[in-house]
A and B are shown apart, each in its own frame.
Chain A
Amino acid sequence: MEKYRCMICGHVYDPAKGEPKQNIPPETDFADIPDDWTCPVCGASRDKFRAVA
């Protein structure tokens, strides 16, 4: 599972950790996150994230 970085604020989504404060459990692939999910730091929408090279 790849990490994804927010192109707006640089926050990295790490599938191993999930997003504990947003009810996204650990081991959740970025592809499985709901469409209306937003970046926990800046509020950017899901399409602003890119896979970390």
Chain B
Amino acid sequence: MAVRTIAPDIYSVGAVDWELRLFDALIGTPQGTSYNAFLVIGQEKTALIDTVEPRFEEDLLKNLMRIGISSLDYIVINHAEQDHSGTLPLLLEMFPGATAVTNEKCKDLLVHLLQVPEHRIKTVKDGETLDLGGKTLEFMITPWVHWPETMITFEREQGVLFSCDLFGSHLATSELFVRDFTDVIGPAKRYYAEIMMPFAASVRGAMEKIADRDVRVIAPSHGPFYDDPSLIMDAYAEWSSDRVKNLVLLPYVSMHGSTRKMVSVFTDALIEGGVEVRPFDLTSSDLGEIAMTAVDAATIVIAAPTVLFGPHPAAFHAAYVLSALRPKTRYVSIIGSYGWGGKTVQNLTDTLSHIGAELIDPVYIRGYPKSEDLTALRNLADTIVKKHEGVITRP
């Protein structure tokens, strides 16, 4: 990425990864991503805020050269995950006078994950500031947004919030600032779903902290920046709230057609009951889309056949990921079909119990659905319709 000016003497110097299609070897990133890093030049001192994924270290170094940086005083590390901190060892080698600045918890992780020598790290506490000369960096410790050591850095004079992964999006773009939020809200929501959702309570806490500050620009560590911070702040307020939508997330997998038939009848019954439903065939769906739907869904129903003694692995995988993401979903249930036995319902129930939602009685049948099975599915849909009436806030 070329060097870009965010504000006077504040530059974006990170890298765009146009080609990434799978992040953390787990969830799709169909629009690539970026690893944002920032240079803040004060009258006395110069600070780099965050680094880049090590594969892109050359981009960062080239950008520093283009600005004519021959020495760095500080390298602020907001978060120890390697896509942001991974270039730190090289930078400390190339800039022997530089000191890494981070909090105590992050220091511990940097020492263990990157073998950074302890004497090169200066630790700061919540609310502590660093004066660069006409530019003041304030550090806000925001644990569990999304790692225990995460912090964010606020440049007071220009009101630039270096928000780390908070408010980020996996989106490779040549635009520095968000100009059309309709292009960005999808990737931003996907990012929230995958990274921030398990920590919604901590996200709300961090946003309360930020609300006191005069934030004019939000510069996250992935994706484009916001010079109208209310766009992303309002979206986050909604996503991280307790409000759920009249929506059923229905990840399914079918082997011989029985479960598919059940999904089809159940989907129609929900639509007839006035409930929005999003079925996802797990053999061809993007986990990120499922996670995004889970941000809003009042109910999750997993549809799976039994393979050998338990759930089809694709359904088990989806249930595991959803339980780890811990959406605000209020109800869960299971539908599907088995041939001769197994513990599918028990296994899926145990996995989904981490969501903390109420389990509605599953409809788990033997073989191809008979008319009484279809009636049971319609009854399940009716139950969900009634439950939703109690939890949906209508505008």
Chain A residues with a Cβ under 8 A of chain B: 5, 7-8, 10, 42-45, 48
Contacts and interface: CB of A to CB of B under 8 A. Distances in A.
Closest 4 CB pairs of A and B: A10-B354, A8-B144, A7-B201, A43-B148
Interface class of chain A by DSSP: loop
A7 B202 CA distance: 9
B326 A10 contact: yes
Nearest to A52: B356
Interface of B: 143-144, 148, 198-199, 201-202, 323, 326, 354, 356
A44 B199 CA distance: 12
A48 B144 contact: yes
A44 B323 CA distance: 18
Contacts of B326: 10
Contact of A8 (B198, B323, B356): B198
B354 A8 contact: no
A13 to B, nearest CB: 15
B273 to A, nearest CB: 29
Contacts, number: 16
| Of listed B148, B199, B323, residue having the most chain A CB within 10 A | B148
A35 to B, nearest CB: 16
A46 to B, nearest CB: 13
Nearest to A38: B148
Nearest to B355: A10
Nearest to B149: A43
Given A43-B148, A44-B144, A10 B356 contact: yes
14 contacts: A5-B356, A7-B201, A8-B144, A8-B198, A8-B199, A8-B202, A10-B323, A10-B326, A10-B356, A42-B148, A43-B148, A44-B144, A44-B148, A48-B144
Nearest to A43: B148
A52 B354 CA distance: 13
Nearest to A7: B201
| Of listed A10, A44, A45, A48, residue having the most chain B CB within 10 A | A10
Contacts of B148: 42-44
Contacts of B144: 8, 44, 48
B51 to A, nearest CB: 24
A10 B201 CA distance: 13
Nearest to B144: A8
Given A5-B356, A8-B202, A45-B143, 13 more contacts: A7-B201, A8-B144, A8-B198, A8-B199, A10-B323, A10-B326, A10-B354, A10-B356, A42-B148, A43-B148, A44-B144, A44-B148, A48-B144
